[in-house]
Amino acid sequence: MKRSILILCVTLLLVMASTTVWSSRSDFSDIEVSQGNFFATGEWEWYTPTPSPTPTEPPRPSLALDPNDGEVQTCSNIVTHIISVSNTADEPKDLALNVTLGVSIVKGDTYVDHIDYEPLIGDIPAGEARDFSMEIHLNDLWTAASSGEEVKLLIEVTGEDNWPEQNVGRQAHLTIVKCASSPSVEVTSPTGGEVFYIAQKATIKWEATSACDLPLTVDIDFDANSGNGGYPYHIATIEQNQQGENTYDWLIPWGNPYLISEHCRIRITAANPCGLSAQAESGDFCPHLPPPPEVVATSPNGGENWLLGEMHPITWAANGISPEIMAVDIHLSPDGGVSWVQIAANEENDGIFDWAIPADAPVSDKAIIKIIATYPFGVSGQDSSDNGFSLGEPAPTLEPTPSPPMPSLSLEPADAQIETRSNSVTYVISVSNSAGEPEDLARNVTFCVSVTEGDEYVRRINYQPMVGDIPAGEARDFSMEIQLNSRWTKAKVGTEVTLLIEVTGEDNWPENNIGKAAHLTIIRKKG
């Protein structure tokens, strides 16, 4: 009996050793144990299994339509509308493939003639967008429809090949609203009673509101008879996109007598693209001629001493309404204002005129300048020098004293050496006149040659002292023959004879030329 129990226990232990997963942790789902190793080694053998690869996600593009819910208010029979179709996915694999859209009428199909569009957009990469454009053509019933009538369209994704279950059916809506209401307009300036000046900028202000947020074309007109058609004058046409108050700076023109009236008005006409318009007028206002310009002559203003034939600036300041349109005339009085002569006409009002005083202008010690600034419509202002200035004869021009001829001699070479064992040496030096003017003639140039060292070796020197005249920029040769004696023949190598060649005479500028010199050294050569 005991033997049977022992065999049964051993069998149970073997079965447990072959089938049990051993772990010292509460979580052992990722750890396995080799079967039967415990009895072989007395230890359990642990290992971690290699994880299975995660399957690749399929492409998942995600489409969005913008604007999702658009509205257009119009009176036109043709409406162009664009929707952006974007792929909001961010992985390169998430390509939206073969995207197509369709358009259907949800409301107001009786007003629609046809809709033009291209269904296929094509592929849209992740993070990019494509435009989908449609042109809606409305019929004559729409033209006659009342304000507020609507056409509603559904724009829908009808095809996408990579993730159709996610994208097909994505939608946007467009509502087209008929606008048949007139705009409103009110003139806020001028309102009546204002005084403006010809050539002045007047600010015209108005408030205009367009129904349905449509743009407005605004015409600004002028009437000189309280709006009853007395000389109508068109000021400007502008495109207004801003609702509410608008302004226009009007430079009131000159040269038109109808503008000078006490019963002038501004008329504003605002029209929308549907042909609907509204008008408003200002109260009566009055443009006047401006006051005369304020002119100040600043130079000459008294005490200046100007000479005939000189150039001097005449300066002034002329201010008023639109001073840039003034023309300036300048007058001169040589007798203190008794008589005047015009010296400049229709000059720009830039404050300066460079006056070249004529050589035959009258000499005066009480001359006065007058500046007259005039508007194109005849209103003028003027000012004169506060005190007289003088116009005098220029000092007599002195004839320049002619410069005496100034020849300048130079000798070349200035310092020369000759090595020789001969008893006869021929040497030539160049004498040049470096002056540049024809009158700078070097006249009667003469030379002298003297021995400064080694005269015991010199028998004689043959030369012609007179070189003669040397014109400016030219040169002459001075030649000499040095004859050495028997001592030179017996002299040791290196023995020297030094000569001085010197200008001894020149008649035009002797103080500059006599004494000009050069040197020649003759050295005894071996052999």
In a domain, 403, yes or no: no
Residues 241 and 277 in one domain: yes
* Averaged pLDDT for residues 156-177: 94
**What contacts 2, CB < 8 A, 6 or more positions away?**
none
Residues 165 and 74 in one domain: yes
* Rounded CA separation 439/403 (Å): 10
pLDDT reading at 97 higher than 60: yes
In a domain, 457, yes or no: yes
- Is omega for the bond preceding 190 within 30 degrees of 0, making it cis? yes
Spatial contact of 233 and 257, defined as CB atoms under 8 Å apart:
no
Q: Give the tokens for residue 190.
A: 């001028």
- 511: nearest Cα among 410, 408, 439, 402: 408
* Rounded CA separation 184/269 (Å): 9
Residues 251 and 218 in one domain: yes
DSSP one-letter string for 367-436: EEEEEEEE-TTS-EEEEE-SS-EEEEPPPPPPPPPPPPP---EEEESSEEEEEE--SEEEEEEEEEE---
* Averaged pLDDT for residues 115-131: 95
Beta strand 216-223 with 233-240: parallel, antiparallel or unpaired? Answer: antiparallel
**Which helix (DSSP H) or strand (DSSP E) does residue 40 occupy?**
helix 37-41
* Rounded CA separation 468/480 (Å): 16
* Averaged pLDDT for residues 451-465: 93
In a domain, 474, yes or no: yes
pLDDT reading at 36 higher than 90: no
In a domain, 404, yes or no: no
Q: What secondary structure letter does DSSP report for 285?
A: B
Strands (E), 230-351: 233-240, 244-251, 265-271, 277-281, 286-288, 294-299, 305-307, 311-319, 327-333, 341-348
* Rounded CA separation 480/451 (Å): 13
Q: How many CB atoms lie within 10 A of CB 506?
A: 25
350 band by pLDDT with thresholds 50, 70 and 90: very high
pLDDT, one tens digit per residue, over 302-345 is: 999 999 999 999 999 999 888 888 999 999 999 999 999 999 99
Q: State pTM to two decimals.
A: 0.48
* Rounded CA separation 498/479 (Å): 16
Residues 275 and 317 in one domain: no
Residues 168 and 191 in one domain: no
In a domain, 444, yes or no: yes
Q: Distances in Å between the alpha carbon of 334 and those of 231, 346, 359?
A: 49, 22, 14
Domain that holds residue 350: 294-392
Q: Which of 357, 392, 427 is the last residue of a domain?
A: 392
* Averaged pLDDT for residues 283-294: 87
Instruction: Specify which of 117-131, 209-223, 241-255 reaches the highest per-range mean pLDDT.
Output: 117-131
Residues 262 and 235 in one domain: yes
In a domain, 52, yes or no: no
448 three-class SS? strand
Residues 326 and 220 in one domain: no
Q: How many CA atoms lie within 13 A of 30 on its CB side?
A: 5
Residues 359 and 425 in one domain: no
State the CATH number of the domain containing residue 79: 2.60.40.10
Residues 414 and 343 in one domain: no
Residues 511 and 457 in one domain: yes
Q: Give the tokens for residue 109.
A: 């199909």
Spatial contact of 465 and 489, defined as CB atoms under 8 Å apart:
no
In a domain, 372, yes or no: yes
Spatial contact of 175 and 151, defined as CB atoms under 8 Å apart:
yes
Residues 372 and 453 in one domain: no
Q: Which of 367, 392, 417 is the last residue of a domain?
A: 392
Give the distance from CA 290 to its chain's centroid: 39
* Averaged pLDDT for residues 150-160: 96
* Averaged pLDDT for residues 15-36: 41
Q: Please classify residue 225 by burial: count the beta carbons closer than 10 Å to its beta carbon, then call 0-12 exposed, 13-18 middle and 19+ buried.
A: middle
Residues 334 and 265 in one domain: no
Q: What are phi and psi of 115, to 5 degrees?
A: -125, 125
- Is omega for the bond preceding 51 within 30 degrees of 0, making it cis? no
pLDDT reading at 346 higher than 70: yes
In a domain, 55, yes or no: no
pLDDT reading at 481 higher than 70: yes
Q: How many domains does the chain have?
A: 5
Q: Which of 288, 303, 318 is the last residue of a domain?
A: 288
Q: Report the chain's mean pLDDT, rounded to a whole number.
A: 85
